[in-house]
Amino acid sequence: MNQCRSARHRRVRTALLLAAALLGACALSPQTVTVQPQLETRPQAIGRGRALALMVRDARPAEAFGTRGGIYDETSFVAPEGDITRPVRAALAGRLSEAGFVVQPPGQAGDIGMEVIIRNIDYSASGKPTVREVETRAVLDVVVTDADRTYRGQSKVSESREVLKAPSPEANEKYLNAVLSRALDRVLAHPDFNKFLNE
pLDDT digits (tens, 9 = 90+) for 162-198: 998 888 999 999 999 999 999 999 999 999 999 999 9
The domain tally of the chain equals 1
Domain at 64, CATH number: 3.30.160.150
- The span from the CA of 132 to the CA of 29, in Å, is 17
More confident residue, 57 or 71: 57
Domain of 71, in residue numbers: 2-198
pLDDT digits (tens, 9 = 90+) for 5-53: 454 444 434 433 333 334 444 457 889 999 999 999 987 899 999 999 9
Q: Which residues contact 182 (CB under 8 A, 6 or more apart)?
A: 138, 157, 159
- The span from the CA of 199 to the CA of 196, in Å, is 6
Tell me how far the alpha carbon of residue 111 is from its chain's centroid: 31
- The span from the CA of 194 to the CA of 1, in Å, is 85
**CA quadruple 8, 11, 17, 20: dihedral positive or negative?**
negative
pTM over 0.75: yes
